[in-house]
Amino acid sequence: MTEFKLPELGENIDQGDLVRLMVSLGASVTEGQPVMELETDKAVVEVPSSVTGTVKEIRVKEGQKVKVGQVIFTVENGAGAKVKAVEPQAGAAKTPAETPAPVPKAAAQPATKARPAAASPAPPAPVAAGATDFRLPELGENIDQGDLVRLMISPGSKVSEGQPVMELETDKAVVEVPSSVTGTVKEIQVKEGQKVKVGQVIFTLEGAASAQPEKVKHAPVEHISEQHEARLSLQAAIQAEGKTPAQVFLPDQPRPSAPKAFAMPEQLGKVAGTEHRAPAPAAPHVRRLAREIGVDIYDVKGTGPGGRISEDDVKACAKSLLTSVAAAAQSAQGRPFAQPALPDFTKFGKVERVSMRGVRRKTAHHLWEAWTTIPHVTQQDKADITELEQLRARFAPKAQEAGGKMTVTAIGLKVCASALKVFPQFNASIDMAKEEILYKQYINIGVAVDTDRGLLVPVLHDVDKKNIVELAAELTQLSKKARDKKLTPSEMEGGTFTITNLGGVGGTGFSPIVNFPEVAILGLSRSSMEPVWMNGKFEPRQVLPLSLSYDHRLIDGADAARFLRWIAEAFEQPFLLSVQG
Amino acid sequence: MTETSNLHVAVVGGGPGGYAAAFLAADLGLKVTLIDPEANPGGVCLYRGCIPSKALLHVAKLIDESRHAKNWGIEYADPKIDMSRLRSWKDGVVKKLTGGLGILSKQRKVEYIQGRAAFENSNTLRISKAGGSDENLTFDRIILATGSRPAIIPSLKLDSPRVMDSTSALDLSEIPGTLLVIGGGYIGLELGTVYAALGSKVSVVEMLTGLLPGADRDLVLPLHKRIEKSFNSILLNTTVAAMKEESTGIRVTFDGPEVKEREKVFDKVLVSVGRKPNSEIPGLDKTQVQVGPRGFIQVNKQLQTNDPAIYAIGDAVGEPMLAHKASHEGRTAVEAIAGHKVAFEPAAIPAVVFTDPEIAWCGLTETQAQKENREIKVAKFPWAASGRAMTLDRTEGMTKLILDPQTERVLGVGIVGAGAGELIAEGVLAVEMAALAKDIALTIHPHPTLSETVMEAAEVFFGTSTDIYRPKKS
Q: What is the mean pLDDT of residues B132-139?
A: 94
Write down which residue in B247, B273, B299 finishes a domain: B273
For chain B, say whether A229 makes contact (Cβ under 8 Å): yes
pLDDT digits (tens, 9 = 90+) for B63-96: 999 999 999 999 999 999 999 999 999 999 999 9
Q: What sign does the dihedral A44-A49-A55-A60 (CA atoms) show?
A: negative
Look at residue A574 and give its three-state secondary structure. coil
pLDDT digits (tens, 9 = 90+) for A358-378: 778 788 888 888 898 899 999
Q: What is the mean pLDDT of residues B426-441?
A: 95
What was the pLDDT predicted at A141?
A: 56
What was the pLDDT predicted at B59?
A: 95
Counted residue by residue, chain A has a size of 581
Burial of residue B226, with CB atoms counted within 10 A of its CB: 0-12 exposed, 13-18 middle, 19 or more buried: middle
Do the domain assignments include residue B2? no
What was the pLDDT predicted at A96?
A: 40
* Contact assignment for A307 to B409 by CB distance below 8 Å: yes
* Contact assignment for B320 to A308 by CB distance below 8 Å: no
Do the domain assignments include residue B280? yes
Task: State the SS3 of A499-541.
Answer: EEECCCCCCCCCCCCCCCCCCEEEEECCCEEEEEEECCEEEEE
Q: What is the mean pLDDT of chain A?
A: 75
Query: B208 and B299: one domain?
Result: no
Asked whether B301 and A271 are in contact (CB, 8 A), the reply is yes
What was the pLDDT predicted at B211?
A: 96
Asked whether B321 and B13 are in contact (CB, 8 A), the reply is no
Asked whether B460 and B379 are in contact (CB, 8 A), the reply is yes
Query: B333 and B433: one domain?
Result: no
For residue B434, give the nearest of A255, A259, A283 by CB distance: A283
User: Which residues in B lie closer than 8 A to residue A255 (C-beta atoms)?
Assistant: 284-285, 287, 289-291
pLDDT digits (tens, 9 = 90+) for A313-322: 998 888 887 7
Separation between Cα atoms, residue B276 and residue A487, nearest integer Å: 67
Do the domain assignments include residue B106? yes
Query: B208 and B181: one domain?
Result: yes
With 0.80 as the threshold, say if the pTM is over it.
no
CA distance to partner chain A, nearest, from residue B156 (Å): 10
Q: Which fold has domain A128-208?
A: OB fold (Dihydrolipoamide Acetyltransferase, E2P) (2.40.50)
Q: What is the mean pLDDT of residues B451-469?
A: 91
* Contact assignment for B280 to A252 by CB distance below 8 Å: yes
Separation between Cα atoms, residue B455 and residue B467, nearest integer Å: 11
Q: pLDDT category, A328, cuts 50, 70, 90?
A: low
Q: What is the mean pLDDT of residues A53-60?
A: 86
Separation between Cα atoms, residue A478 and residue B314, nearest integer Å: 69
* Contact assignment for A308 to B434 by CB distance below 8 Å: yes
CA distance to partner chain B, nearest, from residue A266 (Å): 12
CA distance to partner chain B, nearest, from residue A224 (Å): 5
Asked whether A175 and A196 are in contact (CB, 8 A), the reply is no
CA distance to partner chain B, nearest, from residue A445 (Å): 53
Q: pLDDT category, B258, cuts 50, 70, 90?
A: confident
Distance set, CA A503 to CA A412, A454, A564, A565 (Å): 12, 17, 18, 19
Q: Which fold has domain A2-76?
A: OB fold (Dihydrolipoamide Acetyltransferase, E2P) (2.40.50)
Q: Does the pLDDT value for residue A334 go beyond 80?
A: no
Q: What is the mean pLDDT of residues A347-359?
A: 79
What was the pLDDT predicted at B403?
A: 97
Counted residue by residue, chain B has a size of 474
Catalytic residue among B58, B68, B340, B447: B447
Query: B297 and B440: one domain?
Result: no
Q: What is the mean pLDDT of residues B373-384?
A: 95
User: Which residues in B lie closer than 8 A to residue A224 (C-beta atoms)?
Assistant: 318-319
Separation between Cα atoms, residue B436 and residue B298, nearest integer Å: 35
Query: B185 and B255: one domain?
Result: yes
Chain A segment 287-326 residues within 8 A of B by beta carbon are: 287-288, 291-292, 294, 302, 304-309
Asked whether B411 and B363 are in contact (CB, 8 A), the reply is yes
User: Which residues in B lie closer than 8 A to residue A236 (C-beta atoms)?
Assistant: 207-208
For residue A281, give the nearest of B241, B342, B434 by CB distance: B434
Q: What is the mean pLDDT of residues B154-159?
A: 88
What was the pLDDT predicted at A230?
A: 40
Chain A segment 437-466 residues within 8 A of B by beta carbon are: none
Query: B402 and B263: one domain?
Result: no
* Contact assignment for B319 to A268 by CB distance below 8 Å: no
pLDDT digits (tens, 9 = 90+) for A424-440: 999 999 988 888 899 99
* Contact assignment for A241 to B291 by CB distance below 8 Å: no
The parent domain of residue B171 ranges over: 154-273
Neighbours of A148 (CB within 10 A): 21
Query: B291 and B310: one domain?
Result: yes
* Contact assignment for A228 to B214 by CB distance below 8 Å: yes
For residue B214, give the nearest of A217, A230, A288 by CB distance: A230
How many helices and strands in chain B, by DSSP H and E? 13, 22
For chain B, say whether A11 makes contact (Cβ under 8 Å): no
Separation between Cα atoms, residue A298 and residue A307, nearest integer Å: 11
pLDDT digits (tens, 9 = 90+) for A104-161: 333 334 433 333 333 334 444 444 444 578 888 776 656 677 888 788 888 888 888 7
What was the pLDDT predicted at A76?
A: 82
Q: Does the pLDDT value for residue B253 go beyond 80?
A: yes
Distance set, CA B321 to CA A488, A544, B208 (Å): 63, 89, 20
User: Which residues in B lie closer than 8 A to residue A280 (C-beta atoms)?
Assistant: 347, 434
What was the pLDDT predicted at A486?
A: 81
Q: Does the pLDDT value for residue B1 go beyond 90?
A: no
Separation between Cα atoms, residue B462 and residue A19, nearest integer Å: 65
The distance from CA B421 to its chain's CA centroid, rounded to whole angstroms, is 11
User: Which residues in B lie closer than 8 A to residue A237 (C-beta atoms)?
Assistant: 207, 239, 273
User: Which residues in B lie closer than 8 A to residue A257 (C-beta atoms)?
Assistant: 285-288
pLDDT digits (tens, 9 = 90+) for B161-184: 999 999 999 999 999 999 999 999
**How many domains does one find in chain B?**
3
Q: What is the mean pLDDT of residues B297-307?
A: 95
- DSSP for B285-354 reads GGS---B-TTSPBP--TT-B-SSTTEEE-GGGGBSS--HHHHHHHHHHHHHHHTT-------S---EEE-
Query: B416 and B433: one domain?
Result: yes
* Contact assignment for B436 to A306 by CB distance below 8 Å: yes
Percentage of residues in chain B having pLDDT higher than 70: 98
Phi-psi region of A314 (alpha: psi -120 to 50; beta: other; left: phi over 0): alpha
Asked whether B468 and B456 are in contact (CB, 8 A), the reply is yes
pLDDT digits (tens, 9 = 90+) for A491-503: 888 999 999 999 8
Do the domain assignments include residue B139? yes
Q: pLDDT category, A12, cuts 50, 70, 90?
A: low
Query: B385 and B405: one domain?
Result: yes
CA distance to partner chain A, nearest, from residue B122 (Å): 12
* Contact assignment for B285 to A226 by CB distance below 8 Å: no
* Contact assignment for B239 to A241 by CB distance below 8 Å: yes
Which H/E stretch holds residue A245?
helix A245-248
Q: What is the mean pLDDT of residues A51-73?
A: 85
What was the pLDDT predicted at A506?
A: 87
CATH architecture of A372-580: 2-Layer Sandwich (3.30)
The set of residues, in sequence order, having a beta carbon less than 8 Å from that of A43 and lying 6+ positions away, is A173, A488, A489, A490
Asked whether B283 and A255 are in contact (CB, 8 A), the reply is no
Do the domain assignments include residue B13? yes
Q: What sign does the dihedral A468-A469-A472-A475 (CA atoms) show?
A: negative
Compute the C-alpha angle B183/B185/B191, nearest 5°.
85
CA distance to partner chain A, nearest, from residue B387 (Å): 32
Scanning every residue of chain B, which has its alpha carbon at the shortest distance from the alpha carbon of A272?
B300
Residues of A labelled catalytic: 552
Write down which residue in B306, B337, B368 finishes a domain: B337
Proportion of chain A in helix, strand, coil states, percent, rounded to 5: 30, 25, 50
What was the pLDDT predicted at A276?
A: 60
Q: What is the mean pLDDT of residues B316-343?
A: 95
Q: What is the mean pLDDT of residues A312-337?
A: 69
B224 catalytic? Reply is no
For chain B, the C-alpha Rg in angstroms (whole number) is 24
* Contact assignment for A305 to B436 by CB distance below 8 Å: yes
Q: Identify which of B422, B373, B368 has the alpha carbon closest to the alpha carbon of residue B397.
A: B422
Do the domain assignments include residue B468? no
* Cis, peptide link before residue B448, omega less than 30° from 0: yes
- DSSP for A455-500 reads EE--EES-GGGS-HHHHHHHHHHHHHHHHTT---GGGG---SEEEE
What was the pLDDT predicted at A41?
A: 65
Phi, psi of B241, rounded to the nearest 5 degrees = -85, -35
User: Which residues in A lie closer than 8 A to residue B276 (C-beta atoms)?
Assistant: 249
Question: For testing the chain B interface, which of A115, A224, A226, A309 should be mutated: the one with the most B CBs within 10 Å?
Answer: A226
Q: What is the mean pLDDT of residues A565-576?
A: 85
* Contact assignment for A252 to B434 by CB distance below 8 Å: no
More confident residue, B105 or A245: B105
Q: What is the CATH number of the domain that holds B76?
A: 3.50.50.60
* Contact assignment for B349 to A230 by CB distance below 8 Å: no
pLDDT digits (tens, 9 = 90+) for A35-51: 888 777 666 677 888 88
Q: pLDDT category, A5, cuts 50, 70, 90?
A: confident
The domain ranges of chain A are 2-76, 128-208, 372-580
Separation between Cα atoms, residue A427 and residue A419, nearest integer Å: 10
What was the pLDDT predicted at A29?
A: 85
Q: Same CATH fold, A372-580 and A128-208?
A: no
Do the domain assignments include residue B85? yes
Query: B355 and B456: one domain?
Result: yes
8-state DSSP, B284: G
8-state DSSP, A70: -
Do the domain assignments include residue B315? yes
Q: pLDDT category, B14, cuts 50, 70, 90?
A: very high
Query: B165 and B207: one domain?
Result: yes
What was the pLDDT predicted at A131?
A: 55
CA distance to partner chain A, nearest, from residue B468 (Å): 26
How many helices and strands in chain A, by DSSP H and E? 11, 27
Burial of residue A316, with CB atoms counted within 10 A of its CB: 0-12 exposed, 13-18 middle, 19 or more buried: middle
Q: What is the mean pLDDT of residues A10-14?
A: 69
For chain B, say whether A243 makes contact (Cβ under 8 Å): yes
Separation between Cα atoms, residue B215 and residue B320, nearest integer Å: 13
Scanning every residue of chain A, which has its alpha carbon at the shortest distance from the alpha carbon of B314?
A223
Query: B254 and B313: one domain?
Result: no
What was the pLDDT predicted at A18?
A: 83
Q: Does the pLDDT value for residue A101 go beyond 50?
A: no
